Amino acid sequence: MKQKLTVICVLSILFANVNAQNIGIKAGLSLANAQYEYSNTSISTSNLIGVQAGLIGEVPISNEIYFNSGILFSQKGTKMSLLGVEIYFPINYFEIPLNLAYKYDLETVKLIAHAGPYLGIGLSAKMKGGGDEETIDFGSETDEMKRLDLGINFGAGIEIKKVQLGINYGLGLTNLSNDSDELMKNGVLSFSVSIFLLI
């Protein structure tokens, strides 16, 4: 209940001053590949395919500069091989991006570049492999992981009328592990389509 109230409050703050003409929906595919180390030894990881979807908003600051944000369901995590066993480590988040975007108008299409911080709020996490599945709790104990993920987004795209096609990389800055011997930071490459309901 507390988590739901937090999300509702965040949504209210994000969109309190956004003109309805700047609200849209976003959906896409994500390739999550987290950095993982144990006892200062880097462990090879590979892409974990997921989805990203949610509500977005955009506020013009000038003719070329925009502030955009939203609240997205985002699947992160990673995939790795340990002792010949393939391990899947999906982590689901509510993500709140806070980006500044620059749009260059070519008349029929606009080129877009954006960057800014993001906040991820962990919803659920699992570790699956070898026929076993374990739910990972969020907390401060060594066998738990941190709920909040802070990072930076970098992206680009094009805009044609009401539609934006984009590519984004989210670089996680937070070590999600509470174990002093373990390091895990999110890294997600995503491809998305955004449709603004009214422009």
Residue 127 lies in a domain: yes
- Of the pLDDT bands very low, low, confident and very high (cuts 50, 70, 90), residue 42 is confident
pLDDT tens digits along 8-39: 555 555 554 444 458 999 999 999 999 999 88
Residue 156 lies in a domain: yes
Residue 5 lies in a domain: no
The whole domain housing 81 covers: 26-196
pTM of the model: 0.86
Residue 16 lies in a domain: no
Residue 117 lies in a domain: yes
Total structural domains in the chain?
1
Report the CATH number at residue 91: 2.40.160
Bin 83: left if φ > 0, else alpha if -120 < ψ < 50, else beta: left
94 has pLDDT over 50? yes
Residue 13 lies in a domain: no
| Chain-centre distance for alpha carbon 86 | 24
Q: Burial, 31: exposed, middle or buried (Cβ in 10 Å; 0-12, 13-18, 19+)?
A: middle
Residue type, 169: Y
pLDDT tens digits along 174-185: 999 999 999 999
Residue 102 lies in a domain: yes
Residue 144 lies in a domain: yes
Q: Burial, 77: exposed, middle or buried (Cβ in 10 Å; 0-12, 13-18, 19+)?
A: buried
